[in-house]
Chains A and B, each alone.
Chain A
Amino acid sequence: MRAALRDDREGGDFGRGLAVQRRALHALMIRELMTRYGRGNIGFLWLILEPMILCAGVIGLRYLIQAHEEHGVSVVGLLLSGYMPLTLWRHLTNRGAHLPSRSKGILYHRDITLIDMFLMTMALEFIGCTVAFVMNYAALIAINAINPIVDYGLVCGGWLAMGVLAFSISALIAVLTEYHEASERFIQPIQYLILPICGFLFMVDWLPTGVQKIAWYMPMVHCFEMVRAGFYGDSVVTHYDIWYPLAFGGVILAIYFPMIEKTRDRIALS
């Protein structure tokens, strides 16, 4: 199917299209890696250091005010299990805005499609955040600041669900920002409005029953709850359903993912 998209592939057989695809992704991957993490800038290091600074600050505060636990849960663990999925969410969704216009120059190389650019960007962000998560977890375990994860499967599940959700919203943002210039102005306010209700700062079980029912509709909440269920096991009560964020993301992707390639016509106008 990709071969057919590339009208210059004469007799565009599938095997040849696949080879072109592999080459384009390989070249782009190296280019993106070098741009963001290479050439003396420590972009990648910051990705790991940033959550560490937060955790270090909180550990410091904890000693100062001697508040070791919140609702019977360690504060540092709560932060790591909240802040890292939030980092994943932020990094993926932030890259979506105007991704097509920012790729304009490179699209003159016919073998590269907007889908390639989108997938590449998202894959690298996802990998970067995952590595940052693992490094931070390892560091906090090493200094004995948190207890080991109880259920790795649940942590991975919640992490992946958050990835899928952020990926889909990023596709939506990529399309909307190209079609409606003003939409970009809504992204940051909405991101801030989401912050207190996304599950980053609370666990569903702490909420009054009425509010719990509302929180249930927020797809991000399910991801945070899953990660925390993995972190704490049976010692806390969690409420989640992995299918809800996945289905939510799936529906958004089904609508907006195919539209990414169509934004080509918009980018030269702006």
Chain B
Amino acid sequence: MTTGRAVRAQSDAVADSLGAAPDIAPRRAIDVIDLVKDFPSEGGGTTRVLDGVSFSVGMGERIALLGRNGAGKSTLIRLLSGLQRPTSGRIHRGLRMSWPLAFAGGFEGELTGSDNIRFIARLYDAPIGETYAYVEDFTELSRHALDMQMKFYSSGMRMRLAFALSLAIRFECLLIDEVILVGDQRFQQKCHDELFQNRKNCAMIVAIHGVDFVKEYCVKALVLRNGRGRVFEDLELACAIYATL
């Protein structure tokens, strides 16, 4: 794959400039190593929700998370996004990883859309002007709408803003939880183009149920079952197994 080569060439260049041997330069990737998550269960004791899950995703790669409801997908997303800490194992975030794409829960309703944009820009050390311009352009929301308190937003407007904001910050790895397509058809097309053309060099972790999407866009899949996970590079096989779960 050209992108993979490009990335490797780039890291080689970096390694050379540092005077280190190229093969010592670490691969830039998200590495999930033997992740275990226990939750306290009713009446004492613990329930193991994730049990030794490992995978790795580098630039330009898309990995699908497949699993029935209750298989541990949401927990894995929470651990990946950093909302919760693993019981054991670790997540090495060698790439700058996003929050779950289009996640709108972090918005403060009392604040205006513009306030929330500025907050995110400050938090992620992005230039405020550029971030604002990008969001304004991508969401196609008017300045008037952006200056409204977010508690008055429709769910469509919230989603647009959330989606645009997660793309406005230059993340290297995008975490996508089900909602790939939001808003009306034209906006959906826009999101699709942005993700799979303009950002095709980004790493992506996609939790999804649609197997067609997996076969078309992903290079590998992590199939989760009762908290245990296995990575398949053969997507036909992964989807077939997923169908039997």
Contacts and interface: CB of A to CB of B under 8 A. Distances in A.
Given A8-B93, A39-B111, A106-B106, A268 B84 contact: yes
B189 to A, nearest CB: 27
Interface stretch (B10-18, B97-105, B191-199, B225-233): B97-105
Given A35-B108, A109-B106, A27 B85 contact: no
A173 to B, nearest CB: 21
A264 interface: yes
B236 interface: no
Contacts of B91: 7-8
A110 B108 contact: no
Contact of A10 (B82, B84, B93, B125): B93
Interface in A90-134: 104-112
A268 B112 CA distance: 26
Interface in B69-85: 78, 81-85
A24 B110 contact: no
Contact of B40 (A34, A106, A265): A265
Contacts of A23: 122-123, 125
B56 interface: no
B94 A31 contact: no
Contacts of B120: 109
Interface residues of B, number: 33
**B interface majority secondary structure:** mixed
A62 interface: no
Contacts of A106: 106
A30 interface: yes
Interface string A120-159: 0000000000000000000000000000000000000000
Given A39-B149, A108-B106, A264-B84, A8 B122 contact: no
A33 to B, nearest CB: 10
A21 to B, nearest CB: 12
A269 B74 CA distance: 12
Contacts of A68: none
A269 B39 contact: yes
Given A10-B93, A34-B111, A34-B115, A107 B83 contact: yes
Contacts of B82: 6-8, 107-108, 110
A10 B111 contact: no
Given A7-B91, A104-B105, A111-B123, A268 B78 contact: yes
A213 interface: no
B138 interface: no
Interface of B: 39-40, 78, 81-85, 90-94, 97, 99-100, 103, 105-108, 110-112, 115, 118-120, 122-125, 149
Q: Which 8 A/B pairs are nearest by Cβ-Cβ distance?
A: A105-B105, A110-B82, A8-B93, A27-B122, A27-B123, A105-B106, A108-B99, A35-B110
